[in-house]
Structure 1
Amino acid sequence: MMRSLYAGVSGLRNHQTRMDVIGNNIANVNTVGFKGSRVTFQDVLSQSMKGASAGNGTRGGTNPMQVGLGMGVASIDTLFTDGSFQPTGKPTDLSIQGSGFFILTDGMNQMYTRAGNFDFDNEGNYLVPGTGYKVAGWVADDSGVVNANGPVTGIKIPVGVTMAAKVSTQTTSAGNLSADDPVGTIVQAPTELYDSLGIAHKMNTTYYKIDNTTWLSKTTVADGAITADTQWQQISFNTNGSFKEAVTINPPTTTATTLNIPNLKMDATPNAVHTANHTVFDADGTPHAISMTFTTNAAGNGWTYKISESGVKNPTVVEGTMDWDSASGSYVQTPHTTPVVPFSSPIAVKAGETTYSFTFTPNAPGTAFNASLSQQTYHTNAVTTGLTLPALQMDSDLASSQTTPEVTVVDADGNVNTFSITFTQNGTGWDYNYTINGTATATMGSVTWDTATSTYAGLPTTVSVGTPPIAYALATTNPVAPASNPTTSLSTTSSQATLDNFDITPTTGATPMSIKANLNSITSYAGESTVQVEKDGYGAGTLDSKYIDTTGVIVGNFTNGQSKVLGQVALATFNNPSGLNKVGDNLFGKSVNSGEAKVGTSGSGGRGTFNPGNLEMSNVDLAQEFSNMIITQRGFQANSKIITTTDQMLEELANLKR
């Protein structure tokens, strides 16, 4: 009978333990990061009244007869399910969605928590305000790089952190240069560059449209603290408006005031309209797009002309009429008097602050219009560097000659020259001379065939072409012995001009700068011109504010408009988080059954992710706890009945002796 009494006592005691756990859960229903617990019961040792017996041939087996001696607590488990997330709006608050614990340190020991109510103290320590424990992670180096493989330490971001200046090394132009804009349109794109001391220098890039698919850009830096040359670039676009190429160009150092129109030949087709454009540079190096328009009258025997500066709102316009006088072989003013007065040349037109004279070289009218201005004065992107005679094979017939096909030779200033070589049999070898821009030279020398070396001897190594003459390398490849079927061709070797760096020397004591321009993102479509120039580099700055992103990275915003990584919060996971010890203050400590902490960044190794500006609330479910409370109360009440009933039975037993 005493067994039932002690069984009831164990039931009362252990249900009271369960009630204590339920009470603690309910008490912490609003505790940040709290993880509720549960109690599971188990029976205890049973007393055997009779053992089990096996069956035999005549009788079956019997089961054991056992009387239980009560119940006990099997375990008190911590439940690590996620709690709900409460937005706080405080950027230093963090919560973890998924597995993982914040790591807290006092410099010697590490503790773990799910409560992310953190803040910065007066020294810049990221910590728990109520306990002073520092949040552990990694502090970034001066360049903003976090070494997440290194040991974790308390995160400290001192007040007044500064960011060093970064010198500008590159500009990137992006946007559109309108294909609708007329020739001569000017577009401005200002920006700032920073030297090694963080001093800003104003840079301006001006874009000039010189034809339908080509723009010039002029880059200057001049703010009183800079010594720099003006840099010019030529930007070319494909016919579909996409970027083609860009090269550095060299505009003339002196202003040309006379523009020649060679071989002027008007179109005699009635009502024909022709335009010739050219870019000129004034004394300040500013380009001006000059446009000339010729229109044939309805009879096809006279023309009107107009010369103006394109892209200027109120350009200076020179206009007039003219016709062809066959007797004098010249263009004359219309109307004209007798005797005929030739068309006056040159004609003056003002572009910017410079007056340009147009000189005409007349040629009889015809159906083919020819009124182009002289060659551009800045170099193109295909500078001729060499001439090659591939598979050279001379004609062995006496008194015969052969001429290479004409090639174009372009010098570094963009001057275009035509060139060919003529070889003439002289009985023992071949004399050669050049034809440059349609004019043949006298014999320049002679060559012979060397059978021992299978080469032509006497060929020059350089060829001078142009005015002033430019020397180009001349080479032969795969020479072939003379034959009656000669092969004599000529090809040119060109080099692509590159986009040179823009060199700047600050007078502030900063180191010299070399700026590389990236123009690949510019387009030329119809619509508005939107081109802008962005740059790298920035001035020095002081930490203005900071925030934490979803990976736990602490980012600082500085007064120079830049952002930099300052550190990163670490997360720890355990093989058995239920084995952690609760040590108070929302903290857990590792135990021999929790395993070692596995430290890393959020989102890796099964670790959860951060929710900045949120706190994880308690995971206690009040409805479940109240239900458990009722069940526990009924269990306690039932066990108390066991005790009172057993007591009554003992009392009846004692009354038997009366």
Structure 2
Amino acid sequence: MGIYNALFIGASGLSSFGEAVRVVGDNIANVNSLGFKSQNVNFSDVLSQTVGVTRSNIANQVGNGVRIGSITRDQQQGSLQNTTSPTDMAINGNGLFAMRDPATAELSYTRAGAFILDKDFNLIDGQGNVVQGFAVDATTETAVGNVTDITFSNLAAQAQSTTTVTAGITLDSNAVVLPTGTVFDPTDPTTFHYKTEVNAFDSLGQTHAVSLQFTKVGQDASGNIVWDWHSSVDGGELTGGTAGVATEISAPTASVLTAGVVTTPGTQTVVFGPSGELVQENSPTLTFNWANATPSTIDMNFGNAAGQGVLYPIAAADAQGITGNGLDGTVQMAGSFATRQMTRDGFASGFLDKLETDSAGKIFGVFTNGQRRALFQVALANFPNDAVLSHDGNNLLSETIASGSPVLSLPGAGGMGTISPYALEQSNVDLAAEFVKLIVVQRGYEANSKTILTTDQMLSSLMQVKR
């Protein structure tokens, strides 16, 4: 029977090396498959047969051929290729993207991050599986809740009314004090020195041109220069107002002068020291009763008044309670009036315009009103043994008994990899190494075929013994 066994041994070699060619061929075929991990074939011998035992109890064993011992996956990361799509992502390090099949609700996993948006603005792969992630709190920008579908349907940036205006203005120190008894009138430019404007938003996102007027009053007892300020808008934008007529907001008390010296600052006043720095800011909150929206309250911030020091024996007064050097906002200098900077919060309503992703896997929405906020954070899955996940095709993997159950977490946490946005992970197949393997497997196959041929010749010789 020994000579016949040689035939089967050769056949086991042909079968095993034939399977090895399949593995190598599969690696080569997937050289451009996103996130593909190449596989290696490990051979092992077949249980040997004892053909005799010597007097020294040494067994004489003959092998019974070869078989595929294992097919292992090379988990080395593939190279990253940059793309121009904001929904393309690659994983740097450990982890797999989690995907939910909308038909069965079953989860599968992949390293291929070529995602797109479907008609319902769900983030999906090419087969329609929905990418899984965590919703992000808009205020803290941290992930909250459980893993869910990443979807961007019905997203909008609601309008937000203006609550703070910060004014960086240069008032001319050479301005001449207006005649005694001049009463401010927003419709009469002779009753104030300078005027500037800022656009404020109401609760519906409508913009309103708010005017700020400044009037130089004179010096106080310490030699500081006092200016009163006022605010006004078109009366047609206010409840009960008249369109086309500038209407002052609130009714501020003007500064009081005694013998040409400001003895009592007004309720809306900015006071400047000898170097033009802001040393006192009286700025109460203004209430705007809009005609077609809910009332708005706006704080006017003219900068941080200078703190107490050698030049200022009394503590500065700042409406926001924050002191500084007095030069970061509104100042008084010799020269022309200028509005250097005017900032305000609030914004109009807007719609989702585009998406952006960072290395933490956070997906940000950029809206048509210029707002940008975090919407979702991609979830990554990690298995105790991801080398034995089942291949389901289409670059997808699924859980097996040997792989263990996945842990879903955030990128960069607990050993998870990070995200490279605008990039895709390529196959880790090394073509040069695969061609070398192919040569080795081919020679092994040929050698085993020689075993069968030789055994056949031996059987032919045996048949010639008797004619």
Question: Which of 33, 43, 46 is the matching residue for 1:44?
Answer: 46
- Provide the residue aligned with 2:202 in structure 1: 195
Per-residue CA deviations over 1:31-62 (Å, capped at 9, x if unaligned) read: 22222211111112122345588xxxxxxx77
Per-residue CA deviations over 1:14-45 (Å, capped at 9, x if unaligned) read: 11111001111111111222222111111121
Question: Which of 9, 13, 16 is the matching residue for 1:14?
Answer: 16
User: Could you tell me how far 1:541 is from its partner in structure 2?
Assistant: 1.6
What letter corresponds to residue 355 of structure 2 in structure 1? K
Question: Which of 405, 412, 415 is the matching residue for 1:606?
Answer: 415
Mark the CA change 1:145 to 1:379 in structure 2 (over 3 Å): closer, same or farther: closer
- Provide the residue aligned with 1:170 in structure 2: 164
Per-residue CA deviations over 1:337-382 (Å, capped at 9, x if unaligned) read: xxxxxxxxxxxxxxxxxxxxxxxxxxxxxxxxxxxxx32144299x
Mark the CA change 1:50 to 1:530 in structure 2 (over 3 Å): closer, same or farther: farther
User: Could you tell me how far 1:565 is from its partner in structure 2?
Assistant: 2.3
Question: Which of 33, 36, 57 is the matching residue for 1:34?
Answer: 36
1:115 aligns with 2:109: no
**Secondary structure at the residue paired with 1:606?**
coil
**Secondary structure at the residue paired with 2:447?**
helix
- Provide the residue aligned with 1:251 in structure 2: 254
Instruction: Give the structure with higher Rg (CA).
Output: 1
- Provide the residue aligned with 2:85 in structure 1: 90
Contact 2:167/2:300 (<8 A) preserved = no
Structure 2 CA distance, aligned partners of 1:50 and 1:110?
56
**Secondary structure at the residue paired with 2:234?**
coil
Structure 2 CA distance, aligned partners of 1:5 and 1:63?
26
What letter corresponds to residue 379 of structure 1 in structure 2? P
Structure 1 CA distance, aligned partners of 2:62 and 2:362?
62
- Provide the residue aligned with 1:467 in structure 2: none
Structure 1 CA distance, aligned partners of 2:396 and 2:215?
69
What letter corresponds to residue 156 of structure 2 in structure 1? T
**Secondary structure at the residue paired with 1:20?**
helix
What letter corresponds to residue 222 of structure 1 in structure 2? V
Contact 1:201/1:221 (<8 A) preserved = no
1:572 aligns with 2:458: no
Instruction: List aligned pairs for 1:23-172, cutoff 5 A.
Output: 23-50=25-52, 64-107=59-102, 108-128=105-125, 130-140=126-136, 143=138, 148-158=143-153, 161-172=155-166
Structure 2 CA distance, aligned partners of 1:64 and 1:498?
105
When the two chains are superposed, the root-mean-square deviation of aligned CA atoms in Å is 3.4
- Provide the residue aligned with 2:400 in structure 1: 591
What letter corresponds to residue 158 of structure 2 in structure 1? A
What letter corresponds to residue 16 of structure 2 in structure 1? N
Contact 1:144/1:566 (<8 A) preserved = no
Per-residue CA deviations over 1:218-247 (Å, capped at 9, x if unaligned) read: 251413314775589xxxxxxxxxxxxxxx
Question: Which of 452, 455, 467 is the matching residue for 1:643?
Answer: 452
- Provide the residue aligned with 1:454 in structure 2: none
1:519 aligns with 2:328: no
- Provide the residue aligned with 1:364 in structure 2: none
Contact 1:29/1:619 (<8 A) preserved = yes
Mark the CA change 1:47 to 1:526 in structure 2 (over 3 Å): closer, same or farther: farther
Contact 1:193/1:201 (<8 A) preserved = yes
Mark the CA change 1:187 to 1:587 in structure 2 (over 3 Å): closer, same or farther: farther
**Secondary structure at the residue paired with 2:197?**
strand
Mark the CA change 1:146 to 1:509 in structure 2 (over 3 Å): closer, same or farther: closer
User: Could you tell me how far 1:613 is from its partner in structure 2?
Assistant: 2.1
User: Could you tell me how far 1:127 is from its partner in structure 2?
Assistant: 1.0
What letter corresponds to residue 206 of structure 2 in structure 1? I
Structure 1 CA distance, aligned partners of 2:334 and 2:255?
32
User: Could you tell me how far 1:526 is from its partner in structure 2?
Assistant: 8.5
Mark the CA change 1:37 to 1:221 in structure 2 (over 3 Å): closer, same or farther: farther
Mark the CA change 1:52 to 1:198 in structure 2 (over 3 Å): closer, same or farther: farther
User: Could you tell me how far 1:177 is from its partner in structure 2?
Assistant: 4.6
Q: Give the TM-score, by structure 1 length.
A: 0.55
Per-residue CA deviations over 1:600-654 (Å, capped at 9, x if unaligned) read: 2211122222222222221111111111101111111111111111221222223
User: Could you tell me how far 1:656 is from its partner in structure 2?
Assistant: 2.3
- The structure where helix makes up a greater share of residues is 2
Contact 1:380/1:497 (<8 A) preserved = no
- Provide the residue aligned with 1:538 in structure 2: 347
Instruction: List aligned pairs for 1:172-571, cutoff 5 A.
Output: 172-173=166-167, 177=170, 182-184=173-175, 190-205=197-212, 216=227, 218-224=229-235, 225-226=237-238, 229=248, 250-252=253-255, 260=259, 374-379=260-265, 499-515=283-299, 517=301, 519-520=303-304, 521-522=328-329, 531-571=340-380
Structure 1: tracts of 5 or more residues without a match: 54-60, 233-248, 261-373, 382-411, 415-495
Mark the CA change 1:536 to 1:217 in structure 2 (over 3 Å): closer, same or farther: farther
What letter corresponds to residue 557 of structure 1 in structure 2? V
User: Could you tell me how far 1:578 is from its partner in structure 2?
Assistant: 0.8
User: Could you tell me how far 1:157 is from its partner in structure 2?
Assistant: 1.3
- The structure where strand makes up a greater share of residues is 1
User: Could you tell me how far 1:561 is from its partner in structure 2?
Assistant: 1.8
Structure 2: tracts of 5 or more residues without a match: 177-192, 240-246, 272-279, 305-327
User: Could you tell me how far 1:522 is from its partner in structure 2?
Assistant: 2.6
**Secondary structure at the residue paired with 2:289?**
strand
Contact 1:162/1:543 (<8 A) preserved = yes
Per-residue CA deviations over 1:430-463 (Å, capped at 9, x if unaligned) read: xxxxxxxxxxxxxxxxxxxxxxxxxxxxxxxxxx
